[in-house]
Amino acid sequence: YQRRVHGDCYYKRMPHSYGVRARTRSLFAKPFRRHGQDPISRMLVQYHIGDYADIIVDGSKHLGMPHKFYYGKTGRIFDISKRAVGIVINKRVRNKVLPKRLHVRIEHLQKSKCRAEFINRIQANDKAKAAAKAEKKKVSTKRKPVEPCPGHFVELAKTKVEFINPKPYTYLYQKDAHNDISQSIF
């Protein structure tokens, strides 16, 4: 502890803490109503080399826990061992992006959904191409930006004109000889 002088008395101040798990009280805490034993389904997830996975640290499991920096990061699996999975994560250090290779236990991983939309789009495109080929037509599978709404004329005979003007200021009190401003009604 550090001792500081304040007037006539001393007081203690906590020292700096720069440990591995510093400032992780809420980061590594389990969500509301999710305490207790983990479901067995988390251990039965199959990971393959090349899959994408998210690092979500389980604070109750201390073995194979990655550093707090990697919480929430997504990486690609490059190695699979008996109890852990090797994952490559890009880390920005100053003006460089370094590929960091970590071995993380599967309790701290979950399969990423970052490619779900991409895979669904590929499957929908394949179905559209097969349907177009059966009808001997060409179909465009390119993504198109949202176009602006088409223009139109507003007919005054069919619509009602509404004027949006500011309301006139109204006084909250009546000013007369008997009442002054301090006795206003609020």
Over range 5-21, report the average pLDDT: 71
What are the pLDDT digits (tens) for 29-43?
Answer: 999 999 998 899 999
Confidence of residue 160 (pLDDT cuts 50, 70, 90): confident
Confidence of residue 171 (pLDDT cuts 50, 70, 90): confident
Q: Which pLDDT belongs to residue 9? A: 62
The single residue listed with the structure tokens 């920096």 is 69
Asked if 111 and 45 touch (Cβ cutoff 8 Å), the reply is yes
Q: Which pLDDT belongs to residue 168? A: 83
- For residue 132, give Cα distances in angstroms to 136, 160, 172: 6, 47, 71
Confidence of residue 154 (pLDDT cuts 50, 70, 90): confident
Give the pTM: 0.69
Distance of CA 40 to the CA centre of its chain: 26
Give the separation between CA 152 and CA 165, rounded to whole angstroms: 25
Give the separation between CA 133 and CA 29, rounded to whole angstroms: 53
The single residue listed with the structure tokens 């992006």 is 97
Asked if 10 and 3 touch (Cβ cutoff 8 Å), the reply is yes
What are the pLDDT digits (tens) for 79-132?
Answer: 999 999 999 999 999 999 999 999 999 999 999 999 999 999 999 999 999 999
Give the separation between CA 44 and CA 42, rounded to whole angstroms: 6
Which of 157, 185, 182 lies closest to 171, judged by CA?
A: 185
Give me the phi and psi of 41, to 5 degrees please.
-65, -25
Q: Which pLDDT belongs to residue 131? A: 96
Confidence of residue 181 (pLDDT cuts 50, 70, 90): low
Residue 1 in tokens: 């502890």
Which of 78, 138, 128, 124 lies closest to 103, judged by CA?
A: 78
What are the pLDDT digits (tens) for 47-67?
Answer: 999 999 999 999 999 999 999
What ranges make up the beta strands (E) of 7-163?
9-13, 52-55, 74-80, 84-93, 96-105, 109-111
Confidence of residue 6 (pLDDT cuts 50, 70, 90): low
Asked if 94 and 115 touch (Cβ cutoff 8 Å), the reply is no
Asked if 59 and 81 touch (Cβ cutoff 8 Å), the reply is no
The better pLDDT of the pair 174, 56 is held by: 56
Asked whether the CA dihedral 66, 68, 71, 76 is positive or negative, the reply is negative
